[in-house]
Amino acid sequence: MSVEVLASWSEGSAKDAVIDFVVESARHGSSGFIPTVERIAAFDNDGTLWVEQPMPVQAPFLLEKLVAQVRADPSLADEQPYSGIVNHDEEFLRGLAQQVPDAVLAFLKGVGAAWEGTTPDEYETEVREYLATHTHERFGRPYTDLVYIPMMELFELLRTHDWRVYICSGGGRDFMRVIAEDTWGIGKENVIGSAPEFVYKEGKLVRENSMRGNLALGAGKPEHLFARTGRLPRFAAGNGDVDIEMLEVADFGLVVVHDDKEREYAYTEAAEQILDLGPDHGWTMASMRDDWVTVFDQGGMT
Amino acid sequence: MSVEVLASWSEGSAKDAVIDFVVESARHGSSGFIPTVERIAAFDNDGTLWVEQPMPVQAPFLLEKLVAQVRADPSLADEQPYSGIVNHDEEFLRGLAQQVPDAVLAFLKGVGAAWEGTTPDEYETEVREYLATHTHERFGRPYTDLVYIPMMELFELLRTHDWRVYICSGGGRDFMRVIAEDTWGIGKENVIGSAPEFVYKEGKLVRENSMRGNLALGAGKPEHLFARTGRLPRFAAGNGDVDIEMLEVADFGLVVVHDDKEREYAYTEAAEQILDLGPDHGWTMASMRDDWVTVFDQGGMT
């Protein structure tokens, strides 16, 4: 008797390549065998595990928080990043979207100040509240419903072959950890992301207005993965140019290609290089349109 | 049929307290039940899992490296930390042992410079070579033979009750990771320690001469554990004053008391506070002399 795997993937070379690599990695005597301790798989989050259009899920959460800060203290509206946000300053917002350093740094400064002095539990409560009360502007569903079912099946395939699955995203570590266990079935400890510093004083952890190391983007991805696990991943999946380095270090690279404007989105922005480099690197290019039978869970469009 | 656990522990209140806590943590309906996701146990290393006298295992490894640096470049002998080491400067060495900031910073600067530009594999090879060719000055056995068997049995008890075991030590992360899998049966990714920065460039990770965040000592222990796991440990074990904060945040604290000069060492230095505070905090004080039948593996003295 055989067990069906990757049921939401269309028959074809992408599905075959993924299954072949994972099954061989666990077959003793295979040329593709990988010792169990080395079976570390790393996944980007936004655009790889769930919808990142029209903007990454965390962005409206952060923007809403900064707007609330200005409401509580109107004098903030005179300075960045608050003035750019409340005045819908197109140049500032475009700078943020295009990751212009000045804009990003001003934004992170605002984010750092917003939660300075709070505990991890307080932040988790805010994220849960946000996710429970907001829906995606196009799909009208909670964000956690917009996780790609084919990727959840891939987690399961990896786990049943003794892989440890890590998330490695430039997004906020503590934001992702809130959904890790319920939505992904992954322990909080397997989530790597950009993060603030916390200090332990008087019996509790309190958030500081400073970042913990570099952002988990680009070269930061293998750097964070090594720091966390002591190894580099043998399997890696991403969808954007900031995932290139993480795929470079892996034996198997999977690229999610956003070419399905009917069921999700079709775009190449911030993915031009990975789409160009992928085939030359031998990475498996998974077309959302052609390789996935189902994108989202039953409740929505499939 | 029952399974014997903690076989190297003497019958008594310490053994009873540990077994009771762990068994109840996994028994549904028990007042001591802990959800599986929260079952995180954290252990200090030097003096908690293996011998730390006359000095922590990593110290002679680092000192030998710095001496070799001076041999390769004699001009280094004019400056700290090299001059203090090669001239056996008692004031400097005492400052190092007592963790006087100036001495420690000079020492870390030397350590940082010694491996600057190397890859993780190069460092791992050096550590393996060192451990394979050096023995403990009193016991005449390789350092990895000087792991406490009662603590290895405790790892096993925790694992069979679905706890994830983390090591959280002020010692070097990458040094400990070399022995984690073979000696402790713990994944490299479950080892937290003080660590240098690595940067990813031209397809490989290269070590920089800078530290990654704070040292995993004192308040740094809960800080590192939260950053790594997204939680604080529910079980924690240590033996020194730098472990107090880690035990404070846990439900169950275990303190290894070094009172066995026959089989190991008897000392209270750098443990005065934890020995004093422990009973008031309800921590379980495990006397090496009275609570452990066996200290080391068969080959040596038991």
Which among B24, B74, B11, B5 is positioned nearest to B252, based on CA atoms?
Answer: B24
Q: What is the pLDDT of residue B198?
A: 93
pLDDT at A20: 98
Share of chain A above pLDDT 90, in %: 83
Q: Give the tokens for residue B231.
A: 């939680």
Answer yes or no: is pLDDT of A1 > 80.
Answer: no
What residue spans of chain A are helical by DSSP H?
13-25, 58-72, 82-86, 90-97, 101-114, 120-133, 149-159, 173-179, 220-229, 244-248, 272-281, 288-291
Stretch A153-165: mean pLDDT = 98
Mean pLDDT of A287-292: 98
Maximum average pLDDT range among A99-113, A202-216, A273-287, B95-109 = A273-287
8 A C-beta contact, residue B193 and residue B215: no
Distance from CA of B262 to the nearest CA of A (A): 37
Confidence (pLDDT) at B300:
45
C-alpha to C-alpha distance for B250 and B284, rounded to whole angstroms: 12
User: Does pLDDT of A172 surpass 50?
Assistant: yes
Residues of B with Cβ-Cβ distance to A200 under 8 angstroms: 219-220, 222-223, 245, 249
**H-run or E-run covering B285:** strand B284-287
Q: Do B198 and A223 touch (CB under 8 A)?
A: yes
pTM of the predicted model as reported, rounded to 2 decimal places: 0.94
pLDDT band at A301 (very low <50, low <70, confident <90, very high): very low
Q: Given an 8 Å threshold on Cβ–Cβ distance, is B245 in contact with A174? A: no
pLDDT tens string A102-156: 888 888 889 999 999 999 999 999 999 999 999 999 999 999 999 999 999 999 9
Structure tokens at A151: 């990727």
User: A91 exposed, middle or buried (CB, 10 Å; 0-12, 13-18, 19+)?
Assistant: exposed
Beta bridge partners of B46: B50
Which residues of chain B does A202 touch, with a Cβ-Cβ cutoff of 8 Å?
A: none
Distance from CA of B30 to the nearest CA of A (A): 23
- Determine the 3-state secondary structure of A159 from DSSP: helix
ipTM of the complex: 0.93
How would DSSP label each residue in A230-299? SS--SEEEE-SGGGHHHHHTSSEEEEEE-B-TTTS-B--TT-HHHHHHHHHHT-EEEEHHHHBS--S-TT
Residues of A in contact with B245 (CB under 8 A): 200
pLDDT score for A13: 98
pLDDT of residue B299: 65
Q: Per the structure block, which two tokens stand in for A254?
A: 């999977």
CA separation for the pair A66, A111 (Å, rounded) = 7
CA distance B125 to chain A (A): 14
Q: Closest chain B residue to A187 measured between Cα atoms?
A: B37
Question: In whole angstroms, what is the distance from residue A253 CA to residue A165 CA?
Answer: 14
Q: Which residue has the higher pLDDT, A170 or A104?
A: A170
Look at residue A300 in the predicted model and tell me its pLDDT. Answer: 45
B177 and A228: CB-CB below 8 Å?
Answer: no
For B188-221, the pLDDT digits (tens) are 999 999 899 999 998 999 999 888 778 888 999 9
Type of residue found at B175: F
Binary contact (B228, A199; C-beta < 8 A): no
Give the Cα separation of A233 and A108 in Å (integer).
29
More confident position, A35 or B104: A35
Query: Helix, strand, or coil here: B211?
Result: strand
Q: Choose among B189, B205, B229: nearest Cβ to A188.
A: B229
Distance from CA of B222 to the nearest CA of A (A): 7
Q: Residue A121 in contact with residue A175, Cβ under 8 Å?
A: no
Angle at A236 between CA A230 and CA A241, to 5 degrees: 110
Regions of chain B with pLDDT less than 70: 299-302
**pLDDT at residue number A299:** 65
